[in-house]
Structure 1
Amino acid sequence: MSTTHILDIPGGRLSYHVRGSGPLLLLVGAPMNAAFFAPLAEELAGEYTVVTHDPRGVSGSTLDDPGQDSTPALRAEDALALIDALGAESADVVGSSGGAVTGLALVARHPTRVRTLVAHEPPLLELLPDVAERRAEVDDIIETFRREGPGAAFGKFMATAGYEPGEDDSPPPPSESPEQDLADATHFFLHELRGTTRHVPDVAALKAGPARVVVGIGAESSGLLTARTSKALADLLGAPTVEFPGEHGGFVDHPKEFADVLREVLAR
């Protein structure tokens, strides 16, 4: 069972959900909304106060200016605002995909407010040796969205991520509405994708602070681009990697098993 709340942030409002009791645990995605994390949150609510939210500009988290770009730095400040709103000194944070990039920015900017960050498959393309090619792919995906719409853009996005045609192990929760789907897709392609994938983590800050950073990689993600970026991050940080069930969306398809691994990581 969860309770839903609205938090005012500069230029907008965040919709967030609270489950359970115990130490504060934030589950953070981007562009995924809170619904993607609901099964995992239910698994963990017996031991933690689990908070999920719609990232800024997505689903129930509205912006005064829908054209404002969503940067990792802005999303990190949103996560900090959630920690403050729950009255906590610090929190454990689990970020997946763009949410992992959010978590890295949060730790770099506010290192004392995070106990452990599990960065699950952050798409940090700037860490790869073929970054110029990867940047060009992102630019092409965005232009495809402008020309042809979300269907064609998502097709290219999945292909560059490493999925075979028609392959996707993390189908989204039921749609709120076609209009909301289009708004969320527009936000992702035009205002989030480039800034997230071009984020360069502050390695010195991440290594210097008290927060522990653990890099998560899916057991079935070996062919995905995010496995490469995750390994590159772990190498730079000298941080451990932990294998989680499934692929990039393992927390959706295997919430119980994902939670089991997560409990072990957070208990160390």
Structure 2
Amino acid sequence: MALDLTVRGLSWGPRPDRRIIEDISFDVPAGTTTAIVGANGAGKSTLLRSIYRHNRPLSGQVQVGGRDIWRLSAREVSRLVAAVLQEGAPDFSFTLREVVAMGRIPHRNGQPRAGADEAVIDRVLAEFGLTDMADRTFGSLSGGEKQRVLLARAMVQEPQLIVLDEPTNHLDIRHQLEIMALLGRIRATVLITLHDLELAAAVADQVLVMRGGRVCALGPPGETLTPATIRTAFDVAATITEAATGRPRFSFDLIS
């Protein structure tokens, strides 16, 4: 079951006088996808770290399904929220199945995996087209395959909210399309950072645009990804045209 995300007055920095994000508020309705876009250094990844309970906010609240994540235990939050990060996965000396199975740890309370855990793992492996590869070592996989495995590990957690930081980064076009197709089948609320504005417009119900650690626009893609907003957020001039698919296409020029 997907749950809504509510963020109110969120600020974080390494110390109170050096805040990287400031006074951020937004809602992600249950079962929808929100894409976060902005220039490098805008605060996108920092925002995500507070939402998946890595950075404790200096001020503000993060609620999933009306529950403040900082009033819950780490185990309770890991049953609600899963994260797939862009830092790059280590080359685990585990099989693909073993890596995916790690997603069941929050549900096991220190006990060995039970039949119900194995059923969830088998289902997700099948949904992600990984069953026939389950005995391969994680280190032998391609970049796109590794990203599919990490996404599958997150889904084995059975989260109500999944947070993804640039999941298509460093992937070729085919693997980008595969990852985005998998995201379209996820039965959870999705919060995702993306550099590609066309991808954001294609997959998101709403887009949150950041600049300088603050929100500068929020709403449906057609209302937020405008030339004026793009100029403000990225310091470039944008031209937007409609492709044959009905989706917007963006071209950019430096501002002289």
Q: TM-score, structure 2 length as denominator?
A: 0.28
Could you say which structure has the larger radius of gyration? 2
Which one has more relative contact order, counting CA pairs under 8 Å at least 6 apart?
Answer: 2
Q: TM-score, structure 1 length as denominator?
A: 0.27
